[in-house]
Amino acid sequence: MIPWKQLGRAALPDGELVLLQRGDEFVLRMRGVELMTSRSHRSEELLATLTCVDAPPKAHVLICGLGMGFTARAALDTLGPEAKLTIAELVPEVVAWNRGPLAHLAKRPLDDPRVTVRIEDAAAVIQGQRAMFDVIVLDVDNGPEAFTAPSNAALYSVRGLERAYVALRSGGRLGVWSVEDSPSFTGKLHRAGFTVEKHRVPSRPNTRVQHVVWIASRSASR
């Protein structure tokens, strides 16, 4: 078996993020837990597509968490040429990896002129904003309960979701990805004011493994 090769490391408050490669596969791990693999990204792409579909021609989209760039690529492919895409990524090494060894995986989304990268905590980008975004895509961890970084919990709290609600324009959408279902999180979205749809989506083509995507909408009348 081909051994894993370490390509990079990034120190974080909750642990160390490691980028590994074996053959043509790339993996991001934290404390031994797999955050993402280049072999399984269909659900992240569907997260972006489901959230961005029917967005206004000049939509401003915020993607929280860059990962390997698959979510950003799917959003760009769904949005029109006049849209703006802001990516909030806390870890500068992840941005560097997406411009380097990972760039080819998602066809270099960071090179798209519609993209602006903010090396900043997603919660800080959202907090204090009012009617700034048409779409917010939340993909910073393994879901609202499967935390690899406990500091992400605030984003998925009722208060964090209320901040996202306020940051969205009338009729805007919040998309949230998770490795597993969470009925309590559905309740949190409702308490924050959203109308909610939940989708079970394949992790990759031709598999029975499913992930969960919530599409939460802000009423056009509020």
In terms of Cα–Cα distance, which of 137, 123, 133, 122 is closest to 84? Answer: 133
In terms of Cα–Cα distance, which of 134, 206, 121, 115 is closest to 106? Answer: 115
Backbone φ and ψ of 45, nearest 5°? -65, -40
Residue 96 lies in a domain: yes
Q: How many domains would you assign to the chain?
A: 1
Residue 130 lies in a domain: yes
Are 148 and 31 in contact, with CB atoms under 8 Å apart?
A: yes
Q: 45-81, pLDDT tens digit by residue?
A: 999 999 999 999 999 999 999 999 999 999 999 999 9
Q: What is the pLDDT of residue 149?
A: 62
Q: What is the pLDDT of residue 26?
A: 97
Cα(25)–Cα(207) distance, rounded to whole angstroms? Answer: 18
Element holding 144 (H helix, E strand)? none
Q: What is the pLDDT of residue 140?
A: 84
Residue 136 lies in a domain: yes
Q: Note down the domain range covering 172.
A: 39-217
The amino acid present at 193, given as its one-letter code, is G
Beta bridge partners of 21: 5, 26
CB-based burial label for 189 (10 Å; 0-12, 13-18, 19+): buried
Residue 30 lies in a domain: no
Residue 13 lies in a domain: no
Q: What is the pLDDT of residue 205?
A: 79
CATH of the domain at 147: 3.40.50.150
Angle at 212 between CA 108 and CA 26, to 5 degrees: 35
Residue 128 lies in a domain: yes
**Residue pLDDT tens, the chain, 222 long:** 789 999 999 998 878 999 999 999 999 998 888 888 999 999 999 999 999 999 999 999 999 999 999 999 999 999 999 999 999 999 999 999 999 999 999 999 999 999 999 999 999 999 999 999 999 999 887 778 755 666 778 899 999 999 999 999 999 999 999 989 999 999 999 999 999 999 998 888 777 888 999 999 998 755
Residue 14 lies in a domain: no
Residue 113 lies in a domain: yes
